[in-house]
Amino acid sequence: MKLLNRPMQIGALVAGSLALASVGGAQDLTTLSSNPNNWVMTGRTYDLQRFSPLTQITTANVAHLHPVWSFSTGTLRGHEGNPLVIGNVMYVHSSFPNKVYALDLSKEGAPQIWQYTPEQDAATIPVACCDVVNRGTAWHPPTADHSAGIIYIELLQGDLLALDAKTGKKMYQVKSADFKTGSTMTNAPMVVKNVVLTGISGGEFGVRGRITAFDALDGHELWRTYSTGPDKDVGITANTLASPYPSAQGKDLGVSTWQGDEWMRGGGTTWGWFSYDPELNLFYHGSGNPGSWNPDQRPGDNKWSMSIWAQNPETGEVKWVYQMTPHDAWDYDGVNEMVLSDQMIGGKMVKALTHFDRNGFGYTLDRTNGKVLVANPFGPTNWAKTIDLTTGRPVEDASKRTTAKGNTEGICPAAIGFKDQQPAAYSPKTKLFYVPTNNICMDYEGVEVKYTAGQPYVGAIVRMFPGPGGNRGAFIAWDGSTGKIVWSDKENLAAYGGALATAGDVVFYGTMEGWLKAVDSKTGKLLWKYKTPSGIIGNPMTYVGPDQRQYVAVLSGIGGWAGIGVAAGIGAEDPTAGLGALGAFGDAGSFTTQGGVLTVFALDKAGSTGQ
């Protein structure tokens, strides 16, 4: 086995100096995340609102924000996700080989407390379809044996790694996927009670999507459910709510809606974000595209790819599941985040789930039962005219359905979607969602492909190009109760970084060129921007440091699907290269270069106290 790195743990001798503020011992993550000074999970809170109640930075003073320190991760591929801050310690991750760092925020320049570099097989790199990214870490609160808690990261080669948060010492490393069969791991895990929830990538390699849950303390597998197959594999039981939609009613639809045994390599991978409702004890996630991309090879609805799921985190039992794009013919992965909020819809307050899908529609569902309440396009969508709220199915434009019988032209959005993995934010103050979007369309032709384990199973030729208007992205404010855009700021390249909303009425987001921007939450007016060392595909976050100042931090490092040309050094000569991305973003290298840097910003001390 060829190894890229041997495991490295640095800083154990100084770990005793780890400066942790009190994090409450046996308190659960729901309680701990209510402290706005910390950022204890990927979206700050389980609802994935990415909203901070902090108010030091406001529309009146954000123009005085400036960088105060930075940190190089030591890797140069795409950097998605964001750091965590617990007490006086920041935990930072990198792209492959998925380094993890603990930084001491109580000291000038935030020096390293420890770092851990996992041992991974270099043969994993070409198996990652769309860059060797990682979307972040998860944290378990302190236990009797781990006084600072436990840090978890999913490794690209298919392992869940657990580290002692104080020392960086490896607790365990357990295998969940096998990259030799095309399965990799890139998403951020989520901790619920003593369960660690993980997903997999590999929809372009004919893998069978699944969620796997592990015991947080010793790493043994608790349960596993699949996106395709018979109900018993999927997690559908007698307790699962009956769908309100006829096409989703029946037994073993994860088999009967496929031809033959195609469901066994049917995709539906789970590489996106997880959210959780503690009151309902349900976690929410999406499943991705069916395999292959050639729809002619897999007649039927191909359930349960392209679906939104509500599951019990302790057992895996499915409460409900809703399929957004039956018989997907465009690679509209359904894995984007599920943001939980309470919304007034039809004169009634609803426990809502809002999801901005790659297919171009913004959905608001009742998260207790999976019923679609609002579904409207948030970009110039043309593959479907609308979503029928009676059937739950899209009303398609037949001329935009792809096939292996020819090239279907001018489809909007492209496979990369009007929004990809870059997570939206929600402000309970404005009751608006803030959504980083792409404006990309495509030509698409299916191609016959045969399955071989560990080899690409794509089956399509795709060429992407800028959508209507020529701008390749926008940052929008969206009313989830009505399904309407409130304001929109155009971007030259995609707004491919995540969003952060704050109680100071400032919203932050990043661009592929590398700009971190701050806009007014009510109007979208640009208030401030700063050019970071590389394109931003990570997510800004904010916290309060030991000096009681509010900080904003973001990872820069161009990559991901949109930036794969720069990250992997692929030329723009072939517009179908990078699964079509080079046709739309072949010039990205003119705006930015590779990188892997965390940049941290603050007001000066006078500005931070003069509110």
Report, as residue numbers or ranges, the catalytic residues.
Answer: 331
The two three-digit tokens of residue 583, written as one number? 């046709």
Contacts of residue 498, defined as CB under 8 A and 6 or more positions apart, other chains included, come to: 50, 82, 422, 423, 424, 425, 436, 509, 510, 538, 539, 540
Q: Which candidate, 574, 610, 337, 611, places its Cα nearest to that of 462?
A: 574
Q: Report yes or no: 483 and 352 within 8 Å, Cβ to Cβ.
A: no
Which DSSP category does 39 fall into?
B
> In the numeric block, which tokens belong to residue 564?
């794969």
Phi-psi region of 298 (alpha: psi -120 to 50; beta: other; left: phi over 0): beta
User: Considering Cα of 307, then 311, then 313, then 314, what sign does the dihedral take?
Assistant: negative
Q: CA-CA distance, 437 to 129, in Å (whole number)?
A: 21
Check whether the bond before 413 is cis (ω within 30° of 0).
yes
CA separation for the pair 167, 10 (Å, rounded): 9
For residues 522 and 594, give the distance between their C-alpha atoms in angstroms, rounded to a whole number: 34
Contact between 515 and 536 under an 8 Å Cβ cutoff? The reply is yes
Write out the E strands in 105-194: 112-117, 138-140, 150-154, 159-164, 170-175, 190-192
Question: Distance between CA 395 and CA 326 in Å, rounded?
Answer: 11
Using an 8 Å Cβ cutoff, are 282 and 312 in contact? yes
3-state helix, strand, coil in the chain (%, to 5): 10, 35, 55
Residue 15 to residue 515: CA distance in whole angstroms: 35
Q: Length of the chain in residues, anyone? A: 611
CA distances from 265 to 158, 200, 543 (A): 18, 14, 43
Q: Are 50 and 425 in contact (CB under 8 A)?
A: yes
In terms of DSSP bridges, do strands 460-466 and 432-438 run parallel, antiparallel, or are they unpaired?
unpaired
Longest pairwise C-alpha distance within the chain: 68
Among 296, 7, 50, 330, CA closest to 173: 7
Element at 357 (helix H, strand E): none
**Among 549, 579, 364, residue whose Cα is nearest residue 461:** 579
